[in-house]
Structure 1
Amino acid sequence: MKKPGKYVTRRLLQVIPTSVIIVLLSFLLLKTAPGDMVDVIAAESGGATKEYMDQMRELYGLDVPAHMQFVHFINRVLHFDLGYSFRDNMPVSSLILERLPATVLLSLSSIGFALVVGVALGALAAKYRGSVLDTAISVISTIGFATPLFWIGLMLIVLFSIQLRWLPVAGMVTVGMDYANHWEYALDVARHLVLPALSLGCFFLSMYVRLTRSAMLEVYGLDFVRTARAKGVSEWRVITRHVLRNALLPIVTITGLQLGGLFGGTVVIETVFGWPGIGRLAYDAVAARDINLFLAIFLCSSLMVIFMNLLVDLLYVVLDPRIEVAQ
């Protein structure tokens, strides 16, 4: 197996131009929207004079041409400074670090739920191909794949929060709750996490079901599986050690891409459930035309996607030694 050092170095060098292009496109899209942060502030305060608005634009650096604003942002990033959010009156890096744990918790919970349940259901569908169970799992996964995330979230709120009153509607913790210990706090967060994690996980669960089923059916027909059965290996061992293990490569690919690109789904779910994460922060940044915050969030999310793709490529070598990383 070739050493992946040069490959990793080349991929890391590609991070800089790729990230710049992504942030530039995001900047241009935000600039095409009418108004800026000063217009939003003036509208919320009930109006302002032109002189006052000009002073505010000069204070926030919005009086210079758009290309110079972008250059100033890139220059700050190169000096490890993401800028200042005048809307929230604090550094952008502090805002992102404050909201990051909530998004990481939601993302990992939803992916974990989707991965475990989806792979299990996909394995069952492949094992009992053509049966009623296979048909039912396929129909359910198709419905889950085609249903919008926000609709799933709203229906779960109606059922479990409004009708049954089992789980809280929104937020990450109960407002005004006085926790006696860390366990009570963790339990409260877990209760608030159930609905958003299920809503976000249902979409990815459907993908895992379909992917696992097709990958395992392909492996079932290979010679080494028939050889293992001919040697008297138990069916459970055939499924877990031979079929499922060799069907993991496409699952690893999708998992890596989903972890990197989960930001798009969290924007919707965090907005529906009032979850205080990066997705909700990005939504608020767009609404407030907070350019520094918006660009910093997109820069971080693009870096996450790039590094997760690199990690997936390296995991291929671990899962299947026959794959070599190109120098």
Structure 2
Amino acid sequence: MTTYILRRLIQTCIVIVILSYVCFYLMTLMPGDPVDLMISSNPKITAADVTRLRSLYGLDQPSYVRYGHWVSDILKGELGYSRTYRVPVTELIGPRLTSTFILSMAALSFSLLVAIPLGVFSALRPGSKADYIVNFFSFAGISIPSFWLGIVCIIIFAVWIPLFPAGGTQTVGAPDQGFFAELLDRSKYLVLPVLSLSLQQIGRFVRFTRSSMLEALRYDFIRTAKAKGLPRQLIIWRHAFRNALIPLITILALSISSVFSGAIITETVFAYQGVGKLTYDSIVGNDFNVAMVSFIISVAMVLIMNLVADLLYGVADPRISYT
């Protein structure tokens, strides 16, 4: 087990280095570096000033040299400075990570609480009217574009029936009224983004749960358990559902990896101040340091959660061993 984990961690580091360099190189090809922005804002700047500034920022060096300097700064804990917000990246990205974590975990938890019982219910009644209804809404949730779903939620619950705010993270300029008042205020802004994210995730989780349960219910040991007279709930949840967990673990691990990368479209539609919207704004505004740090976090989380999923396979199925 230890050897397997170490090997996977080494592979993860190699993949992060390769992908980060590719992303770094692509970012260097984007128009609008800091010197270009200075030129556009100061028409009196001279060619000598441009040459001096490019040398000062290291923009006259090859991309691999600049990448080496950037990696050495990252290893020292220096994530750079945001051009757009004029603050250090560490100071900027911390609160955004917290907001994205709250949003994504709330949406993921709600999705699982709804989707798993629905998927099991549908699998136990294949071909019934209830099964067709559940499948219809599952496919609808998967197929609906997230930006359209977010706009519809805003129109219905913020315009027609003004129950919740249309966007934002919390009330701007609200006086400090204590922890519970702030929690209630932030909860109001969470409802519509969580609903928008959950409706899509529920459809996906229902489909995976249903297909996995249908396959598990066909196994011989399920027929044996029924023949032995075991209680129905014990057969469903202890025997069938546990063997249906492996595909669910995979899709759940990939979903958890998005907890720290953010839902870019949903956060942008609702103006929710999370990592997803920050990444989008940094790419549009050519905020190099913020975009690269956000990318590294996203890649690292995907790779780490894949490793966690592989380890959980052994918990769900004792027949799986790691060498």
Do Structure 1 and Structure 2 share a fold, with TM-score over 0.5?
yes
**Helix, strand or coil for the counterpart of 1:84?**
coil
Q: Map 1:198-237 onto structure 2 (within 5 A).
A: 198-237=195-234
Judged with a 3 Å threshold, the aligned counterparts in structure 2 of structure 1 residues 315 and 270 are, in CA distance, closer, same or farther, namely: same
**Helix, strand or coil for the counterpart of 2:263?**
helix
Q: Map 1:157-236 onto structure 2 (within 5 A).
A: 157-236=154-233
Shift of 1:262: 5.0
Answer whether contact 2:260 2:297 (CA < 8 A) is retained. no
Aligned counterpart in structure 2 of residue 271 of structure 1, from 236, 254, 268: 268
Answer whether contact 2:101 2:259 (CA < 8 A) is retained. no
d(CA) in 2 for partners of 1:280, 1:11: 31
Q: Map 1:63-102 onto structure 2 (within 5 A).
A: 63-102=60-99
In structure 1, what residue type is equivalent to 2:321?
E
d(CA) in 1 for partners of 2:288, 2:124: 52
In structure 1, what residue type is equivalent to 2:114?
V
d(CA) in 2 for partners of 1:24, 1:257: 23
Higher alpha-carbon deviation: 155-164 or 48-57: 48-57
1:109 aligns with 2:106: yes
Judged with a 3 Å threshold, the aligned counterparts in structure 2 of structure 1 residues 61 and 77 are, in CA distance, closer, same or farther, namely: same
d(CA) in 2 for partners of 1:60, 1:105: 37
In structure 1, what residue type is equivalent to 2:108?
I
Shift of 1:128: 1.2
> Normalised by the size of structure 2, how large is the TM-score?
0.92
> Normalised by the size of structure 1, how large is the TM-score?
0.91
d(CA) in 1 for partners of 2:313, 2:147: 34
Judged with a 3 Å threshold, the aligned counterparts in structure 2 of structure 1 residues 289 and 229 are, in CA distance, closer, same or farther, namely: same
Aligned counterpart in structure 1 of residue 19 of structure 2, from 9, 17, 22: 22
Judged with a 3 Å threshold, the aligned counterparts in structure 2 of structure 1 residues 100 and 41 are, in CA distance, closer, same or farther, namely: farther
d(CA) in 2 for partners of 1:22, 1:68: 16
d(CA) in 1 for partners of 2:218, 2:243: 12
Q: Cα RMSD between the aligned structures?
A: 2.1
Answer whether contact 1:37 1:290 (CA < 8 A) is retained. no
Judged with a 3 Å threshold, the aligned counterparts in structure 2 of structure 1 residues 306 and 54 are, in CA distance, closer, same or farther, namely: same
Partner of 2:282: 285
In structure 2, what residue type is equivalent to 1:67?
Y
Answer whether contact 1:40 1:289 (CA < 8 A) is retained. no
Judged with a 3 Å threshold, the aligned counterparts in structure 2 of structure 1 residues 278 and 38 are, in CA distance, closer, same or farther, namely: farther
Partner of 2:116: 119
Q: Map 1:244-323 onto structure 2 (within 5 A).
A: 244-261=241-258, 266-323=263-320
Partner of 1:151: 148
Judged with a 3 Å threshold, the aligned counterparts in structure 2 of structure 1 residues 20 and 128 are, in CA distance, closer, same or farther, namely: same
d(CA) in 1 for partners of 2:34, 2:196: 32
List runs of 5+ in structure 2 lacking aligned partners: none
Shift of 1:42: 5.9
d(CA) in 2 for partners of 1:49, 1:124: 71
> Of the two structures, which has the highest relative contact order with CA contacts closer than 8 Å and spacing of 6 or more?
1
Partner of 1:243: 240
d(CA) in 1 for partners of 2:269, 2:76: 36
In structure 1, what residue type is equivalent to 2:267?
E
In structure 1, what residue type is equivalent to 2:12?
V
In structure 2, what residue type is equivalent to 1:242?
H
In structure 2, what residue type is equivalent to 1:123?
V
Partner of 2:132: 135
The sequence identity of aligned pairs, in percent, is 39
Answer whether contact 1:73 1:292 (CA < 8 A) is retained. no
In structure 1, what residue type is equivalent to 2:124?
K
Partner of 1:31: 28
Answer whether contact 1:200 1:265 (CA < 8 A) is retained. no
d(CA) in 2 for partners of 1:9, 1:37: 40
Shift of 1:58: 4.9
d(CA) in 2 for partners of 1:193, 1:252: 26
In structure 1, what residue type is equivalent to 2:26?
L
d(CA) in 2 for partners of 1:264, 1:150: 17
